[in-house]
């Protein structure tokens, strides 16, 4: 038991990170049933993009209902914030409404530090796990002051879109641990027991893993994308600009090879980023899309059930701390 398991009401201090297209009720429930916390990401459980925000909200509601049919354990929902002072985006408004209606009480809030947004989410009664997309010492402190419950510190080694400042996990985790008093979770390239143990040694109280869970039995990622993770190592990966600062770290297929030479502006006019990710990762067309993964693929050599992944990676933590019973969480949203 530690501060993370207590705050989230889970057995082991591990979160399955939100990921566009490659999360689903099945993945989230598998992680939560195994004692971690699953998180529904954008387009969870979907095969196509919604036609509008109402459809996004309806589909999200259905995926939450499905998740609840598969687990009675806590799980989270991805929520995006824009820069300080900006209005809540219509996408986030819809997500928030669904979270309130469906009483999902843990939000994995990702983006820029927006203290007004964090305060609003706290006043509505949510538990806030906050990950600054481009992590900074001062940003972590501002998020803590605004009421965030947990901070996720992201190293450049991560899969998906990387931080703008290329600081590795070994630097970012202790930097954020030094910045705040609330518990910190580490992310970025962690994919085996050594990485997990290192994260705890750096002062993190939990780990937040994306790529390792893509290569799980329950992940909705296409088998081609999963096999691609097994086939490649860290030194094969290439960086493709996202068009928003930062990079997608990608396996070396045709589209990624072409795109790595392009500037942010060229990327913005030539590629629909989410579509490219879906094409490779969900539809399995690796040459026509971007299979974005962390440098931790170096250590992934088998597709496994989430339960096996969690017990294997947390083996030493469990030996030291034992497995703790889940606490009883009940959520009554504050009046809106
Ligand atoms: C395919 C993929 C898609 C992602 N999409 C999102 C997203 O939609 N929202 C988000 O908050 N983070 C997203 N991320 C980032 C992850 O939540 C997490 O920070 C990242 O995977 C770091 O963990 P890793 O190094 O274990 O991959 C994505 C990551 C991957 C690999």
Condensed to tens digits (0 to 9), the pLDDT of residues 64-85 reads: 999 999 999 999 999 999 999 9
Model confidence at 273, pLDDT cuts 50, 70, 90, reads low
What lies within 8 Å, CB to CB, of 178 at 6+ separation is 137, 203
Report pLDDT for 332.
47
Model confidence at 335, pLDDT cuts 50, 70, 90, reads very low
Report pLDDT for 272.
59
Model confidence at 60, pLDDT cuts 50, 70, 90, reads very high
Ligand 1 site-directed mutation target among 160, 225, 274, 283, most atoms within 8 Å of CB: 160
Nearest CA to ligand 1 atom 21: 210
Ligand 1 mean position to 178 CA, how many Å? 24
Report pLDDT for 239.
94
Q: Which atom of ligand 1 is nearest to the CA of 209?
A: 26
Q: Is the pLDDT of residue 327 over 60?
A: no
Q: Which residues pair with 108 in a beta bridge?
A: 78, 129
Q: Is the pLDDT of residue 288 over 70?
A: yes
Model confidence at 336, pLDDT cuts 50, 70, 90, reads very low
Q: Is the pLDDT of residue 5 over 90?
A: yes
Ligand 1 mean position to 336 CA, how many Å? 30
Q: What is the largest CA-CA distance in the chain?
A: 52
Give per-residue burial for 84-114: e unless 16+ CB within 10 Å, then b: eeeebeeebebbbebbbebebbbbbbbbbbb
Give 104-144 as a DSSP string: --EEEEEES--HHHHHHHHHTT-EEEEEESS--HHHHHHHH
Going by DSSP bridges, is the β-strand pair 247-250/238-241 parallel, antiparallel, or unpaired? antiparallel
Q: Is the pLDDT of residue 185 over 70?
A: yes
Q: Mapping DSSP to helix (H, G, I), strand (E, B) and coil, where does residue 197 land?
A: helix
Give the integer Cα–Cα distance in Å for 222 and 108: 25
Average model confidence (pLDDT) for the chain? 94
Average pLDDT over residues 218-242: 96
**Residue 321 contacts residue 2 (beta carbons within 8 Å):** yes
> Which segment of 56-65, 164-173, 237-246, 273-282 scores lowest on mean pLDDT?
273-282
Ligand 1 mean position to 189 CA, how many Å? 11
Q: Tell me: the pLDDT tens digits for 114-141?
A: 999 999 999 999 999 999 999 999 999 9
Going by DSSP bridges, is the β-strand pair 75-81/150-154 parallel, antiparallel, or unpaired? unpaired
Q: Which residues pair with 131 in a beta bridge?
A: 110, 152
Structural tokens at position 29: 């429930």
Nearest CA to ligand 1 atom 8: 20
Ligand 1 mean position to 335 CA, how many Å? 32
Q: Of residues 322 and 53, which shows the higher confidence score?
A: 53
Locus of tokens 């820029």: 112
Q: Is the pLDDT of residue 11 over 60?
A: yes
Domains and CATH numbers, the chain: 3-220+301-320 (3.20.20.70), 238-292 (no CATH)
Ligand 1 site-directed mutation target among 14, 16, 18, 279, most atoms within 8 Å of CB: 18
Report pLDDT for 263.
83
Q: Which atom of ligand 1 is nearest to the CA of 110?
A: 11
Ligand 1 mean position to 19 CA, how many Å? 5
Q: Tell me: the pLDDT tens digits for 80-101?
A: 999 999 999 999 999 999 999 9
Q: Is the pLDDT of residue 271 over 70?
A: no
Average pLDDT over residues 254-280: 80
Q: Tell me: the pLDDT tens digits for 140-158?
A: 999 999 999 999 999 999 9
Q: Tell me: the pLDDT tens digits for 232-265?
A: 999 999 999 888 778 999 999 999 998 888 888 8
Ligand 1 mean position to 188 CA, how many Å? 9
Residues with CB under 6 A from ligand 1: 17-20, 22, 41-42, 78, 110, 154, 158-160, 187-190, 209-212, 277, 281, 292-294, 296
Q: Is the pLDDT of residue 334 over 70?
A: no
Nearest CA to ligand 1 atom 29: 160
């Amino acid at each position: 038991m530690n501060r993370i398991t207590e705050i989230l009401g889970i057995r082991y201090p591990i979160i399955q990170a939100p990921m566009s297209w490659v999360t689903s009720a099945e993945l989230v429930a598998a992680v939560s049933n195994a004692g971690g916390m699953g998180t529904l990401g954008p387009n969870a459980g979907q095969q196509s993009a919604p036609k509008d925000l109402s459809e996004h909200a309806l589909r999200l509601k259905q995926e939450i209902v499905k998740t609840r049919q598969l687990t009675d354990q806590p799980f989270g929902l991805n929520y995006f914030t824009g820069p300080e002072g900006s209005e809540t985006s219509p996408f986030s408004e819809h997500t928030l409404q669904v979270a309130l209606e469906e009483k999902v009480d843990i939000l994995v809030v990702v983006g820029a530090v927006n203290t007004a947004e964090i305060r609003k989410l706290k006043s509505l009664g949510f538990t806030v796990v906050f990950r600054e997309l481009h992590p900074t010492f001062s940003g972590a402190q501002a998020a803590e002051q605004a009421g965030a419950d947990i901070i996720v510190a992201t190293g450049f080694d991560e899969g998906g879109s990387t931080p703008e400042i290329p600081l590795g996990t070994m630097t970012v985790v202790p930097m954020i641990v030094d910045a705040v008093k609330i518990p910190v979770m580490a992310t970025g390239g962690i994919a085996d027991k050594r990485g997990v143990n290192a994260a705890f040694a750096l002062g993190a109280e939990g780990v937040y893993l994306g790529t390792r869970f893509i290569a799980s039995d329950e992940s909705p990622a296409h088998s081609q994308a999963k096999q691609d993770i097994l086939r490649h190592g860290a030194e094969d990966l290439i960086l493709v600009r996202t068009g928003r600062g930062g990079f997608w770290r990608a396996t070396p297929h045709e589209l990624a090879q072409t795109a790595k030479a392009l500037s942010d502006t060229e990327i913005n006019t030539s590629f629909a980023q989410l579509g490219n990710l879906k094409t490779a990762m969900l539809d399995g067309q690796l040459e026509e899309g971007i299979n974005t993964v962390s440098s931790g693929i170096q250590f992934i050599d088998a597709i496994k059930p989430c339960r096996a992944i969690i017990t294997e990676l947390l083996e030493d933590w469990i030996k030291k701390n034992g497995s703790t019973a889940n606490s009883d969480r009940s959520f009554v949203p504050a009046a809106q």
